[in-house]
Amino acid sequence: MIIQKDCYRTILLIWLICAPLTYVMMRFIPYPVLSYPLSTIPVALMGFSLFFFRVPKRNTVPGDNVVTSVADGKVVVIDKVYEPEYVKGECLQVSVYMDFFNVHVNFWPVSGEVTYYKYHPGQYLLAYLPKASELNEHSSVAIRSSYGDVFFKQLAGTFARRIVTYAVPGEKQNKGDQCGVIKFGSRIDMYLPLDTDIKVQLGDYVKACETVIAELRK
């Protein structure tokens, strides 16, 4: 199992808290009927931290015009919107909400050249709220494929305090490679051209690299 390199410090912090807590419970609670069940809680958190920050192996769906999901989660928004930052016009928005049990590593949705990156500090509203897209801490990234641009935002949620993005304008990236990670609850907003053929529906559960979000048209 591969652990996301940018999460080592978070995992270490969890272990530094949970390991002594486990020792105290086992050492100072004289009743095994209490100490054993209680000590399983921090031990489980230590194990879950490794599982949560793993980098899954994925088989990326091929096709230059095929847009795959940036993240694992549930589709919570499909709508026509005005995007003022990069698109500067109307487009289709598809949002994927990641809960606490989803893998939070993110992957490039298409192959192409990174044309835009900007980090936005902000608030930590619940990630599924509509205003979170504008008000929450987030990173904005655009990548230009042979079929057009795909613009997306990595949004922090209530418990997320750090977004990692590997986007460098001018660099070439391959679909299915890691593009970053968002720690804990969060959301991905994808913005696609109006003539894009959307392949998902509200409520669908999607997997990064393996679920087709849309097909671009020239």
Average pLDDT estimate for 119-124? 73
Q: What is the pLDDT of residues 28-38, one digit of tens each?
A: 888 888 888 89
* 38 sits in which H/E element: helix 32-52
Q: 79 φ, ψ to 5°? A: -160, 155
Q: Which residue ranges make up each domain of the chain?
A: 5-52, 66-215
- Terminal CA-to-CA distance of the chain, rounded, Å? 39
CATH of domain 66-215: 2.70.70
pLDDT band for 135, please (50, 70, 90 cuts): low
Q: Which two tokens stand for residue 132?
A: 């979170």
| Model pLDDT, residue 122 | 65
pLDDT average, residue stretch 190-209: 96
Query: Are 10 and 183 contacting, i.e. CB atoms less than 8 angstroms apart?
Result: yes
Q: Distance of CA 44 to CAs 11, 31, 152, Å?
A: 13, 20, 34
- Is residue 35 part of the annotated active site? The answer reads no
> Nearest to residue 75, comparing CAs of 56, 93, 94?
94
With helix as H, strand as E and coil as C, how does 79-100 read? EEEEECCCCCEEEEEEEEEECC
| pLDDT at position 125 over 70 | no
Judged against a pLDDT cut of 80, whether residue 184 lies above it is answered with no
Which of these is catalytic: 39, 111, 133, 186?
Answer: 186
Closest CA to 56 of 210, 163, 159: 210
Pair 179, 107: CB distance under 8 Å: yes
Tens of pLDDT, residue by residue over 51-90, are: 877 788 899 999 999 999 999 999 999 999 999 999 999 9
Q: Is pLDDT of 134 > 80?
A: no
Quick check: 178 and 192 in contact, CB under 8 A?
A: no
